[in-house]
Structure 1
Amino acid sequence: MPSFPPFSALPLKKDGPPHNAWGLYSDAEGDGEDELGRLNLISPQSVKRGKETITEGLVINLNLPLSFPPLHPRREHLQHEIKCSGHSNDDVVRFNTQSSTQWDGFRHYPYQDWPGKGEYTFYGGMSIEEASDSSVKKYGAQNYAKRPITSRAHLLDIPLYLSTHSLPPLDPFSSSQPIPLSTLKACAEDSQITFAEGDILLVNTGFIEALEGLSDEEREGLKKREKNESVGVEANEEVWAWHWDNGIAAVASDCPSYESWPAPDGQLSCHQVFLAGFGLPIGELFDLRELAEQCKRLNRWTFFFASCGLYVDGGIATPPNAQAIL
């Protein structure tokens, strides 16, 4: 039996935002000290299930360089300075944790307008004032280091599924064709993937390949569009229910938002429900190219996944330092 109630039982905090799971791993009012959200589902059994998938001893990097040009025009580029003392070197690095491969923390994106008063509400009911205060450490991304995101994982290779079934390809730079639940489920079935509580889900969309194929001018042009669109998973209740009821502990993709972005005006996004409601980490801009190639070669899309973020108390996001081991 799962260790959590069904999606239909949400919201747990009845006077809170839609689909929230606040208080599931703390006291009944949601005021306890739990800061892990869905990461509570990763048990020793989950980790051992992942270990059992290692047959090749093949280790694959899932991180883009920290110098990867930020896709958002307001985000800083990496700054790297080497300091020589005469007999040895140090270096100093400054970067926006949202500029390359990243885990979004629970203080990154709130419910946007709840309860209809223009208020921003984060996981557990944290306010925008608390979440923006660097002296507050609660719900920070340090929890992704204290409790590394390590478990069995699965890859849904959507471009491969579409091409295998002679279906139209995705447009990586458009939100007009979000990936529906039917495609996620069909891809999982094709790949003989069976989910268990505590598993991690990676979704490949082909975004990084498409981006790497652009010239510098074309890439800069993407930032100047009226809407900064990108492909991703569809945001709706059946998609959220599928992630919840399958016991998925964390999600990541190669695209900028996991979900297609931007979400339609006036509708809930996966960022709101997953981060602020479930306490479900969202990974973005993961480099899934080599992993997809090796999974296709081996004809298996389940593997061991290990990630330990930066130990920065109160952090908003973090590089994942992620790897897949097959």
Structure 2
Amino acid sequence: MPDSNIPENANEHCPGPESQGAGKADGCAGCPNQEICASQAQGPDPDLPIVTERLSKVRHKLLVLSGKGGVGKSTFTAQLAFALASDESCDVGVVDIDICGPSIPKIMGCEREQIHQSSNGWSPVYVQDNLAVMSIGFMLPDEDSAVIWRGPKKNGMIKQFLKDVDWSSAGKLDYLLFDTPPGTSDEHLSVVQLLKASGITGAVILTTPQEVALQDVRKEIDFCRKANVPILGLVENMAAFVCPSCHGSSLIFYPTTGGADALCRELDIPLLGSIPLDPSIGRACDFGSSFVDTCPESPAAKAFVQVIDRIKQIVDQ
């Protein structure tokens, strides 16, 4: 019987991504998924059923990705979480899998909190009644401590975030957001593999307008397609600078090749929206507050709302 997990673009004689010969068998030569299969552990992971059970009550699991660092991915994840949780009937969780650069606790105003153990596992930190956060930042002795780990240890921590955290303490979870590090490395492979059985709703990919960022985004898009992660769309962040006084805008990162709009048309990906650069966004992150709530009249806040509404519309279809 053929392996139901074999990607559609796999070679005809694919042994299956969970077989001992995955990525190494003769039939793997020239396959676009060869590198992904060869880099992951072969054989079924005995913890996968536990992870799947833990996440069985999560309606939507969203990955926030970027090919390049510094494009505002963590900021966007936090603001998306705040905006979704503004609906009191909606329960939201955020997993910070940027193990070596955990910025979510600071951006969400909970950096001094600690994780507690309960009979059901780890309890995440609650920013508000319907918004929970899990990050290695809560486990460090101080905020300046570096996490100097190799891949296997980082992957083990990500598995614990999914296997040992009681995300369903409220009975359900409407959204679980994953803030990822830049690139396409260990953390990305781990979270995709761990979520495979329970399903990934999709990925939101962030970029800035200049070509040097778009080059890395193309690689992120290629990763999603090879790993069978649905792409909800692309968000162009820092599209222009908005003056806080006159609300006039000027380009900071010039889109020499047409920016995100041209890339989306080229690769047939939805453009979820463009968010201008506003100094108030950085201020909101420093104080761990919701930018949309504190500056609702800002052009950037209105752009955020439009992007978030578009994401909700897509996932609820």
User: Which structure features the higher share of strand residues?
Assistant: 2
Q: Which has the higher contact order (CA 8 A, sep 6+)?
A: 1
Report the TM-score, using the length of structure 1 for normalisation. Answer: 0.28
Q: Output the TM-score relative to the length of structure 2.
A: 0.28
Q: Quick check: which one's helix share is greater?
A: 2
